[in-house]
Structure 1
Amino acid sequence: MIVSVPHAGRIYPPEILAATRVPREQLERLEDSWCDTIAARACEAGAVVVEALWARAVADCNRGEGQMAPGEVDASLHTQFSAPGRKERAGLGVIPTRLAGCGPLWRRPIDRAALHWRLESFHRPYHAALAEELAAARHRSGRAVLIDLHSMPPIPGGQPGHGAQIVVGDRFGTTAAAGLVDLVMEAARGLGVPAVRNQPYAGGHIVRTHGKPERGVHAIQIEIDRSLYLASDRLPDRARAARLADWFAHLAARLAAAGDDSLPLAAE
C-alpha cells in the first residue's frame, strides 16, 4: 500500500521566490492545502507515504514532462511542447506558469536551464521514489496499490460531478481492478458525503504512469473537497481533519488487506 501526496508541499526554495513576479500567497493557491494531514496516520495502517515537501510551484508531479504550452516557455523550447491540452494552455503544465486573477507567475519564460533544474531537483526524484516503493511492494507480495491523494475546491455548478465532495478516479477503469475501486467508493460513501467516480477528475499523470493492473500495480486518485477539513482561514479544522485522517487510515488498512477478489496478483 503506497500513498502519494504530490501537491501538499509548503517549501519554496530561494530560487523560486527570486524568480516569481507575484507574492508567495498567490503561489500557495496551487497547493492542495494541508492535504498531508489526511494521510498523517496512513503509516500506522501499514502504508508507505511518498509526500512532496517542495511546493507545486516548483514543478507539478501530476503532469508529465511534456505537458507545457509553447507560449509558456522560452522560444528555444517551443518544439518540445507542440501539442498542449486545455490545462497546459491555461498555464497549468508541468511547470505552473499562470493563475486566474494574477497573470504570469514568473519574471521571464521558463528556459531550458530552469526546466532542467526543476525536473531534476523535484519531479524526477518524486516519480523515482514512487516507482521504487511500488516495485518493492510488488516484489514482496506480487501486487501493489497506489492511492494518489489530492484536495479540490468545491466543484462549480454546471460542471460534471457538481455537489460531490469526494471524487475517485481510475482513468475510466484502466488503472485499477474494478473491485478495488468499488471498495474505495464504498468507503467514501461511508463518510456520509456525496462521492462520484471519474467526474470531473479521472486521474492525472501519476495514476496514468504508475497504474499497471496487468502487472499487479493498481493506482487510484482520490480528490477530497477542502471544505471537509479546512476552516475559513484555510488552516485545518482539528476535529474534522482528524476524522478524515482516521477514515483514510482505515481505508489504507482495508486496501492493504484486500483479498484476491478485489486485487488480483500480477501475471508472471
Structure 2
Amino acid sequence: MPMRRRPDLPAAIAVERPAAGAAPVVVSLAHAGRIYPPEILAAARASQPELERLEDGWSDLIASRATEAGATVVQALWARAVADCNRGEGQMAPGEVAPQLRAQFSAPGRKERAGLGVIPTRLADVGPLWKKPLDRAALAWRLESLHRPFHAALTDALEATRARFGHAILVDLHSMPSIPPGQAGHGAQIVVGDRFGDTADPWLVDAVVASAERFGVPVSRNQPYAGGHIVRTHGRPDRGVQAVQIEIDRSLYLRRDRTPDSDRLKPLSNWFYGLLQEISAAWPGAAALPQAAE
C-alpha cells in the first residue's frame, strides 16, 4: 500500500524571508531537521537517538541571525533520516533497495555504498537503519514529502533573489564531526567547498575563507568536503548564481552530549551573521547595479 502524506503532519520545510533590508543571499539548511514522522519511526529498525546521529545537530542555530543579515533561509524541518536533500535522487546503492528498484541505482559511489545515499540506510556501529529494504512506494513518499519540496523551494528562492538583484549567492550550511588524523583536511574546523571552482567564482570563496580565518580556527578548502548535491545542482556562476558549502566542526558549538553550548554558539552565530553581510556587499559587479527597492 502506498504511503500517503497525512494532512496532520507538521510541515517538512520552512522558508524564512527577511522582514526588511533583503540581501542577495540564500542560506540552505538541509540536515538540521529534528522532526521524525510516525511513519519513519515505525519503519525504523534503529532507535530515534541512533537516527539522530545523521543530523547536523543544531546547525540551524548557527544561522539564527541569517534573516537579520538580509538572507532568505530554506530549511528542512524533517530529519535527514527521511531523505538526504544533499544527495541526488539517483544516489543509492542497489543493495540498499528492494530488487525491483536496483536497476535505477547502478553506479553507487563511496558514500552510497556506505549507506549514506539519498535515503540513509546504514550507520557505523548501528547497522541497517530500516526493518526492510526500501520499496518503490516508500522511496516515492520520502522524496515527494521532503526532498523534492526542499529543492523546489530552494530553486524558487534563488530565482527570486537573482531576479531582484541580478545575482544570487547560495550558502549551504552543514556541520561535521572533527576530521580524524590521516584524513585530508585534518585539523580544519571550518571547510569551505566550491567543487574545486565549479560552483563559485574565486572572489566568493576567498572572502569566505578569509572570514573563517579571522574567526580564529583552522580552515580548509574543498578537503575533505568539496560540496555535495545542493551546490552542484544550484550553483551556476555563469548564470549569476554562486554557491559554497560550509562545514563547521560540531565541537565548536556542541557539548559532548550533542546539546548546544550557548556560550560558544553565540560568537559562531555572530560570525556567520557578519559573513553573510560581508559577502552580500562583496560581489564585484554590485556597483554596476541600481539599488533595489526595499
Cα distance change of structure 1 residues 112 and 264 upon mapping to structure 2, 3 Å threshold? farther
Query: Is 1:256 equivalent to 2:280 in the alignment?
Result: yes
Matches within 5 A, 1:156-195: 156-195=180-219
Query: Is 1:146 equivalent to 2:170 in the alignment?
Result: yes
Question: Any idea what the Cα deviations from partners look like across 1:68-114, whole Å, max 9, x if unmatched?
Answer: 00000000001010000000000000000000011100000000000
What is the one-letter code of the residue matched to 2:237? P
What is the one-letter code of the residue matched to 2:267? R
- Over aligned residue pairs, what C-alpha RMSD do you find? 1.3
Question: Any idea what the Cα deviations from partners look like across 1:32-55, whole Å, max 9, x if unmatched?
Answer: 000000000010000001111000
| Structure 2 alignment gaps of length 5 or more | 1-24, 290-294
Cα deviation, residue 217, structure 1: 0.2
Task: Tell me the distance in 2 between the aligned counterparts of 1:146 and 1:198.
Answer: 16
Whether the aligned pair in 2 keeps the contact of 1:7 and 1:60 (CA below 8 Å) is: yes
| Structure 1 alignment gaps of length 5 or more | none
Q: 1:118 aligns with which of 142, 152, 155?
A: 142
Cα deviation, residue 22, structure 1: 1.2
Cα distance change of structure 1 residues 219 and 212 upon mapping to structure 2, 3 Å threshold? same
With normalisation by structure 1, the TM-score equals 0.97
Task: Tell me the distance in 1 between the aligned counterparts of 2:162 and 2:285.
Answer: 17
Query: Is 1:223 equivalent to 2:247 in the alignment?
Result: yes
Corresponding residue SS for 2:125: coil
Task: Tell me the distance in 2 between the aligned counterparts of 1:190 and 1:230.
Answer: 21
Aligned residue for 2:15?
none
Aligned residue for 1:81?
105
Query: Is 1:91 equivalent to 2:115 in the alignment?
Result: yes
Question: Any idea what the Cα deviations from partners look like across 1:185-227, whole Å, max 9, x if unmatched?
Answer: 0000011100010000000000000000000000000000000
Cα distance change of structure 1 residues 150 and 264 upon mapping to structure 2, 3 Å threshold? farther
Q: 2:52 aligns with which of 28, 45, 48?
A: 28
Cα deviation, residue 153, structure 1: 0.4
Query: Is 1:198 equivalent to 2:242 in the alignment?
Result: no
Cα deviation, residue 259, structure 1: 3.4
Aligned residue for 1:45?
69
Aligned residue pairs total: 265
Corresponding residue SS for 1:227: helix
Task: Tell me the distance in 2 between the aligned counterparts of 1:253 and 1:69.
Answer: 40
Task: Tell me the distance in 1 between the aligned counterparts of 2:37 and 2:234.
Answer: 28
Aligned residue for 1:245?
269
Cα deviation, residue 264, structure 1: 9.8
With normalisation by structure 2, the TM-score equals 0.88
Cα deviation, residue 184, structure 1: 0.2
Aligned residue for 2:19?
none
Task: Tell me the distance in 2 between the aligned counterparts of 1:264 and 1:88.
Answer: 44
Corresponding residue SS for 2:173: strand
Cα deviation, residue 176, structure 1: 0.5
| Percent of matched pairs sharing the same residue | 69
